[in-house]
Amino acid sequence: MLFSGIPFLYYFLPIVLILYFLAPKKLKNGVLLAFSLVFYAWGEPIYVILMVISILQGYLFGLLIGRDKEKRPRRAKLWMWCSVVFSLGMLGYFKYADFFLSNFNAATGLSLPLLRVALPIGISFYTFQILSYVIDVYRGDVAPQKNPITLGAYIAMFPQLIAGPIVRYSDVERELRERKHTLADMAYGVRRFVLGLGKKVLIANSLGELCAAFGTATDPSTLFFWLNAVAYSLQIYFDFSGYSDMAIGLGRFFGFHFMENFNYPYISKSITEFWRRWHISLGVWFRDYLYIPLGGNRVSKPRWFFNLFVVWFATGFWHGAAWNFILWGLYFAVFLVIEKFWLLPWLQKKEGLDFLRHLYVLSLVLVSFVIFNAPDFATVGTQLGGLLGIGAGHDATEAIYYAKSYAGILVTAVVGATPLPKKVVSWVEKTKVGSRILTVAEPVFLGLLLLVVTAYLVDGSFNPFLYFRF
């Protein structure tokens, strides 16, 4: 079930909210868990069993770790590793088994049959949440949750189940026990959800249509290659950040405060800064559960290089079972190392050359998403060659046509990817007259935006969600 779908917007969500707020305080987590399982089963009726099993193993191993941590630490460590191996084993089987088999066949010349197992939606996200919970219990950062419904509500919570942000148990532990529901939070939730919905449906989907047009071009010009790269980079940002906005807004409906997942990454002046602004919850997860345990930067330089490349190999591989994702992760590792040992002091200077710094980041990011979006290495080569004019067509008529046709949405996306709209609203809000106008204008705008989005959803069928495949 998609957040940006009629069934969710006008059937599922209203029913959930009515029953949730009618339920007594003690039953709210149970209601949330029950509807989260329904939400997941809507698209994955079989794999909801897999998620329930994953939740139960995390719950049981958490209890065992808590029981043995003080008196039998070795046994507690064993329980922790059992849970980690189980979680990663399930993720490895469903997401990576065919990748390893196909590469083994290619390397050995054998023809072992592929498993062709369907990828359970959201398994990468909820697996990481279970891992963080079990590891935090072992570290003593949180107490083991004794109520399986409460833990289940945390792991399966539908607002962030499918594509994050990756929420750590320690961040919502208190709210799982005791949370407040206020009109201010509901108003914020509505605002955040509707704006995220607009970003997804009106901007990301329109940019996706432009990318689809490029995919059907028989002899795209260099201009069309660049237009596609720009469109896809903006599409994936508005698609994923729009989903995160909706997740954060939905969380507020139920009294939860999820962390921000994006902070205008395209205004960054270095790749280091870009990754502090893009998919923040994933970056924090890998920092706390892989980079720091490996030793972080408090080791020798060769070991530091190793740590960085392991983390970015894992980051790329987490996104998908294909070599282009691994290349994408290692691509960023190379530039992060270059920045840390040479470029960063210049990139962090406050005075002058901001344009060159932004151009440096945007150029590298555009190329990275060309790699990210390619289905195989051959396509990576074709796409990168096309950006340089190698193998590209000479007639730019088609590219110019689409550039003109999508000029409005491209400009809107570029401006919307900066803090400018937020700054304008903030400036207007600070004035007495502007504040009064916004009090009336905001709900009207949100209502009209929801109406327009609904019309698009009813009328159109192009409504993909890019991060479903991860």
Total Cβ atoms within 10 A of residue 193: 25
Would you say the C-alpha torsion 176, 54, 326, 321 has a positive or negative sign? negative
Classify each residue of 238-257 as buried b or exposed e, where b means 16 or more C-beta atoms within 10 Å of its C-beta: bbbbbbbbbbbbbbbbbbbe
Q: What is the DSSP string of 129-174?
A: HHHHHHHHHHHTSSPPP--HHHHHHHHH-HHHHTT-----HHHHHH
DSSP 227-265: HHHHHHHHHHHHHHHHHHHHHHHHHHHTT--PPP--S-G
CA-nearest of 245, 249, 241, 285 to 413 is: 241
SS3 95: helix
271-290 burial, b at 16+ Cβ within 10 Å, e below that, comes to: bbbbbebbbbbbbbbbeebe
Residue 127 in tokens:
């697996």
Interaxial angle between packed helices 28-43 and 47-68, expressed in degrees from 0 to 180 and rounded to the nearest 10: 140
Distances (CA, A) of 262 to 164, 244, 251, 365, 419: 11, 8, 16, 15, 12
Enzyme catalytic residues: 319
Q: Report the Cα–Cα distance between both ends of the chain, in Å, rounded.
A: 16
Rounded to an integer, what distance in angstroms lies between the CA atom of residue 98 and that of residue 333? 26
Which of left, alpha, beta for 114 (phi over 0: left; psi -120 to 50: alpha)?
beta
Dig out the tokens for 219 from the structure: 């002899």
439-449 burial string, b = 16+ CB within 10 Å, else e?
Answer: eeeeeeebeeb
**DSSP state string for 297-325:** TSS-HHHHHHHHHHHHHHHHHHH-SSHHH
Q: Is the distance from CB of 347 to CB of 269 less than 8 angstroms?
A: yes
Tokens linked to 440: 């009336």
Q: In whole angstroms, how large is the CA radius of gyration of the chain?
A: 23
